[in-house]
Structure 1
């Protein structure tokens, strides 16, 4: 079987990580669309497996969680009547948990937005933490049961509930969200420090995802057609974000700041993971397209 040289695979993965369309990459590199997609799938599997194996016993004081919306194949309101509809078409949510100090994305999950996915995220997050943390989420009710069921009393947990005014009228309603007029900090468990009850870093990570994962760009035709490929793109993004991309504030990568690695990675190191073969996972991978997380290994 023909195999792309390492330099070509490195270039393609780098373009994917910087938000290029798959068809744009084919025009730039001359590589077929199917080859780029196959490389994305292989890289996503390898990155998810590496994260699962090595991001463990993370020492963090403050962790923030949030979820970001996207859709697969068709928006939820159109999924039932869409032609040739695929499994899991409609709303697709990506859950993230980020260390507020090192900016490391400790855990993520792709799936729905109900309590079972919240529980799956919390179970995975706790398995990766090495100490008691202060946890902050938004006011999504699914977090309440999930945090209680996973951490019990071994967490300092608070919710930041944002208050919004009336939605804009007229054509701007589609593009402009309602104005945030205030926020309420609610202690839920333990003794969270009110000064650090915030979801700002998690929300900023949502913007980073929209900027670097083309499938998250709104009002385009670059949305995911298969949820599995969507999840592989997310896995590749977080590997690049955690290990390769230097954080402008930290001056290093989040993985180095968190002590997960002692060196600065390059995209070529991700290609080396493909050549070496993906490590075996222990526990569920953070990629899910149903109630139970599934492994793509």
Structure 2
């Protein structure tokens, strides 16, 4: 007696016939009623929304895309395509809580990174509100006065009007930043300790910035999106705090 063929997973009809084999060597079936072709226990399965939420959280940790694919037992190619699509929707504008016009203090610093090869240097320029610890400015480019000016321009308007920035001695800054609003300080003063600590956090949480790694970005747009994605998450996770002393 021949074994019974499986019912159609779509219409549950038993009018099913064998239909060759799939590219993975599995027996393929076809339903005569609805035309559905299928295999038993298929290797490909749709990724659920719950799985996508887990992937989104893992992208905020120091885990490579290949590591995420291995841990979740899904296709590395699918993970890469998902991240590429997600990168297109990451905003590259600062999203900070509204601030009143008053004296604001900002710390600025930059950290070295690269894309594809170490010869392609990409410096991550950052600005932080000293009181709220929010990242209020970001620019990724070279280490020139043009990039320093781009960082200043990325700050919300209230900071460009009211903030005094403190950062280490770098030759490009006095040229690019307003002289009355910029204070160059040495690292021994600890007046840039908050932003330097965030640089360490960024390297520990974004695998593309970890030194001596295979997780570095191959494309600049993916590199920039990954950094902005973490900054948005970091700002949203901070406790509410006033930026002006009472």
Question: Is the pair's TM-score, using the shorter chain for normalization, greater than 0.5?
Answer: yes
Note closer, same or farther for the CA distance 1:130–1:121 as it changes in structure 2 (3 Å cut).
Answer: closer
Q: Deviations over 1:251-278 (max 9, x none)?
A: xx15x3368xxxxxxxxxxxxxxxxxxx
Determine the structure 2 residue equivalent to 1:160: 185
Q: How does 1:144-223 map to 2 (within 5 A)?
A: 144-148=174-178, 153=180, 155=181, 157-162=182-187, 182=188, 198-223=191-216
CA RMSD of aligned residues (A): 2.5
Q: Give the gaps of 5 or more residues in structure 1.
A: 77-89, 163-181, 184-196, 245-252, 260-297
Q: Is this contact kept in 2: 1:40–1:232, CA < 8 A?
A: no
Query: Shift in Å at residue 9 of structure 1?
Result: 1.3
Note closer, same or farther for the CA distance 1:142–1:237 as it changes in structure 2 (3 Å cut).
Answer: same
Q: 2:143 aligns with which of 87, 92, 113?
A: 113
Determine the structure 2 residue equivalent to 1:33: 76
Q: Is this contact kept in 2: 1:67–1:93, CA < 8 A?
A: yes
Distance 2:173 2:225 in 1: 25
Note closer, same or farther for the CA distance 1:42–1:241 as it changes in structure 2 (3 Å cut).
Answer: farther
Distance 1:68 1:9 in 2: 30
* TM-score, length basis structure 2: 0.71
* Partner SS, residue 185 of structure 2: strand
Q: 1:64 aligns with which of 89, 101, 107?
A: 107
Distance 2:157 2:74 in 1: 40
Distance 2:87 2:158 in 1: 20
Structure number with higher relative contact order (C-alpha < 8 Å, ≥ 6 residues apart) = 1
Note closer, same or farther for the CA distance 1:138–1:98 as it changes in structure 2 (3 Å cut).
Answer: same
Matched, 1:243 2:227: no
Note closer, same or farther for the CA distance 1:130–1:119 as it changes in structure 2 (3 Å cut).
Answer: closer
Tell me the matched-pair count.
197
Between structure 1 and structure 2, the one with the greater Rg is: 2
Distance 2:47 2:228 in 1: 21
* Partner SS, residue 46 of structure 1: coil
Query: Shift in Å at residue 126 of structure 1?
Result: 4.8
* TM-score, length basis structure 1: 0.60
Note closer, same or farther for the CA distance 1:101–1:70 as it changes in structure 2 (3 Å cut).
Answer: same
Q: 2:169 aligns with which of 127, 139, 143?
A: 139
Q: Give the gaps of 5 or more residues in structure 2.
A: 1-44
